[in-house]
Amino acid sequence: MSALLVLVALGLGLAGVLVLRHQRPAWYWLAIGGWLAVLRVSFGYSSVMEACGLTVPPSRMRLMLARAANREVPPNRPPRLVRMRITRTGLVMRLRLCPGQDAFDVATSTDRLRHSFLMHAVTSREVKAGVVEVRMTGYDVLRRVQIPARAERSLLRVPVALVDDGSVHYRDFREVPHRLDLGATVSGKSVSLRNLVTELAPQPVALVGIDCKQGVELGPLARRLSAFADNPDSAADLLEALVERMAQIYLVIRREQRISVDIPDAEITADIWGLPEAIRPTPVVLIVDEVAELLLISSNSEKKRRERTMTALVRLAQLGRAAGIYLEICGQRFGAELGEGTTMLRAQLTGRICHRVNDEGSAKMALADISPEAVLAATTIAPNQQGVAVLGDSSGGWVRGRGPYVSLRRAVNVCNRYAHLTPDLPELAPFRPALPVAEPVDLAKPVPASA
Ligand SMILES: Nc1ncnc2c1ncn2[C@@H]1O[C@H](COP(=O)(O)OP(=O)(O)OP(=O)(O)O)[C@@H](O)[C@H]1O
């Protein structure tokens, strides 16, 4: 019997080593690795906390009681382990801190905890005063990213990346209306745009694309785009048409407000979300791939066009949210070289993503307003980690994550499948890509190579 137990223990140990060495998928971690980690953490908890400097000396009361009862001096106390949960990527522990400890103590010990508990990564965050959540991942979750099937999706809130602590990062347009996505060439910007378009395609949202790289990235997705521009001249016209649409929507909101003011207790709205559904304009997500192609000029004759483009972009960024117009702007750099107005535009882009960059200056353009650590984290992304990025917003929070790889073929299939949902916006009709509406595509079946 005892030989059998030893064999089982050896088998489990070997499986655990495989989990850690060969970075097995989530099901493997859940089935075996998670339970081994629970045992390891439970048995070694007090000694690891002591070794990592996360214990406090016994209170005076306990010392007094020990002395009165003539017992030996009580040991140092670790934070109380309130809860431990296995997730698909590792473990989550909730700790109640001892008096005198703070969340920063745990944050500075995460690397020591990682080594002590044989985990791939450990992060911590304060949940409420005195309670800290420690998330441990058993394998590199960013190596092959799969967004969990049960990730929540709602209007204008879509899962876009997996964070290195195993949680899902959402792009919530109503919370963070505009976002800037920077990264060197081949860092994964276009793939993250594709991912965003495939997530938004099934929603009642108008997608507007500007891709001045002759439309190579967004052109194939044209069936799901309500408007599209593939050169700076038509992009300037398209942006002005969007500003015009925004002005019209403001008039609608104003008109509705006047009715509500006369009616006591009625809700008064200042954006499209308070309008009755019947008259609520369709929200628009404007996607700009490679903003430098849109704004850089080579001669003075193009200066006027750039001014028009920049003015329209700044106005959309400043006023678009209430009219349901959201911006997603991608580029390799976003500095003064793009011309007057760049800083003003950047100040309005609350959300920030920074993929791999070639110099600290580029990382600072995206993340300097967030935190110096975020800038440092972005500069350490290796060239072979395409798609890995620092995701933050100007409230100061940031995480390291990676979006799933979405091939252009898959993005085209999804856009073709939902082409019938493409809203028709009369103001943008001249920019509607001239394409026949495709039959819905069955994603399970193989498809021919043409878009
Ligand atoms: N999330 C990801 N997971 C795995 N591989 C990725 C991911 N994102 C990008 N890649 C790889 O990196 C390659 C380049 O990505 P992408 O075209 O998005 O880069 P980019 O930043 O848009 O480059 P450029 O500015 O030159 O267009 C992709 O073809 C793909 O092989």
Enter the tokens of residue 236. Answer: 């300037």
Query: For residues 237 and 208, what is the distance between their CA atoms, to the nearest angstrom?
Result: 13
Say whether both 113 and 163 belong to one domain.
Answer: no
| Higher pLDDT, residue 45 or 397 | 45
Residue 148 has pLDDT above 60, yes or no: yes
- Measured CA to CA in angstroms, residue 38 lies from 8, 35, 74, 137, 378 at distances of 17, 5, 26, 12, 32
CA of 189 to the centre of ligand 1 (A): 6
Query: Which value, to the nearest 10 degrees, does the dihedral of the CA atoms of residues 215, 381, 394, 164 take?
Result: 110
Say whether both 279 and 403 belong to one domain.
Answer: yes
In a domain, 113, yes or no: yes
- 206-211 vs 325-331, strand pairing mode: unpaired
186 is an annotated ligand-binding site residue: yes
Say whether both 127 and 162 belong to one domain.
Answer: no
Number of domains in the chain: 2
Residue 303 has pLDDT above 80, yes or no: yes
At 80 the three-state DSSP class reads strand
pLDDT of residue 451: 44
In a domain, 37, yes or no: yes
Q: Is 384 in the pocket of ligand 1 (CB under 6 A)?
A: no
Say whether both 103 and 176 belong to one domain.
Answer: no
Averaged pLDDT, 83-109: 90
Q: Is 405 in the pocket of ligand 1 (CB under 6 A)?
A: yes
Write out pLDDT tens, residues 55-69: 999 888 888 998 998
| Higher pLDDT, residue 262 or 94 | 94
Residue 136 DSSP symbol: E
Please give the number of the atom of ligand 1 that sits closest to the Cα of 187. 21
Averaged pLDDT, 228-234: 94
Find out whether 273 and 325 touch, Cβ atoms under 8 Å. Answer: no
pLDDT of residue 166: 85
**Closest Cα partner for 288 from 345, 343, 368?**
345
Q: Measured over all CA atoms, what is the biggest interatomic distance in the chain, rounded to whole angstroms?
A: 92
Among 160, 180, 186, 289, which is best to mutate for testing ligand 1, by the most ligand atoms less than 8 A from CB? 186
The question of ipTM being above 0.95 is answered as: yes
- Measured CA to CA in angstroms, residue 303 lies from 234, 266, 306 at distances of 15, 48, 5
Write out pLDDT tens, residues 119-138: 888 989 899 999 999 999 88
Phi, psi of 17 (to 5 degrees): -60, -40
Say whether both 412 and 326 belong to one domain.
Answer: yes
pLDDT of residue 96: 95
**Closest Cα partner for 181 from 410, 445, 357?**
357
pLDDT of residue 450: 47
Write out pLDDT tens, residues 158-181: 999 999 888 899 999 999 999 999
Say whether both 210 and 102 belong to one domain.
Answer: no
- Measured CA to CA in angstroms, residue 124 lies from 2, 127, 162, 163 at distances of 40, 9, 16, 13
Query: For residues 345 and 295, what is the distance between their CA atoms, to the nearest angstrom?
Result: 12
In a domain, 406, yes or no: yes
188 is an annotated ligand-binding site residue: yes
187 is an annotated ligand-binding site residue: yes
Judged by average pLDDT, the poorest of 326-340, 377-391, 398-412, 430-444 is: 430-444
Averaged pLDDT, 310-338: 93
Say whether both 175 and 108 belong to one domain.
Answer: no
Residue 445 has pLDDT above 80, yes or no: no
**Closest Cα partner for 399 from 187, 148, 113, 121?**
121
Question: How many Cβ atoms sit within 10 Å of the Cβ of residue 303?
Answer: 12
At 320 the three-state DSSP class reads coil
Domain containing 30: what range? 21-137
Residue 372 has pLDDT above 90, yes or no: no
In a domain, 181, yes or no: yes
CA of 64 to the centre of ligand 1 (A): 64
| % helix, strand, coil for the chain, step of 5 | 45, 20, 35
Find out whether 431 and 229 touch, Cβ atoms under 8 Å. Answer: yes
In a domain, 322, yes or no: yes
In which band, very low, low, confident or very high, does the pLDDT at 266 lie, cut at 50, 70 and 90?
low
Give whichever of 333-337, 383-387, 389-393 has the largest mean pLDDT: 383-387
Q: Which residue has the tokens 């207790």?
A: 265
Averaged pLDDT, 75-94: 90
DSSP notation for 210-243:
EETTTTTTTGGGGGGEEEEE-SHHHHHHHHHHHH
Say whether both 205 and 342 belong to one domain.
Answer: yes
| Higher pLDDT, residue 359 or 268 | 359
Residue 352 DSSP symbol: E
SS3 sequence of 118-133? CCCEEEEEEEECCEEE
pLDDT of residue 16: 58
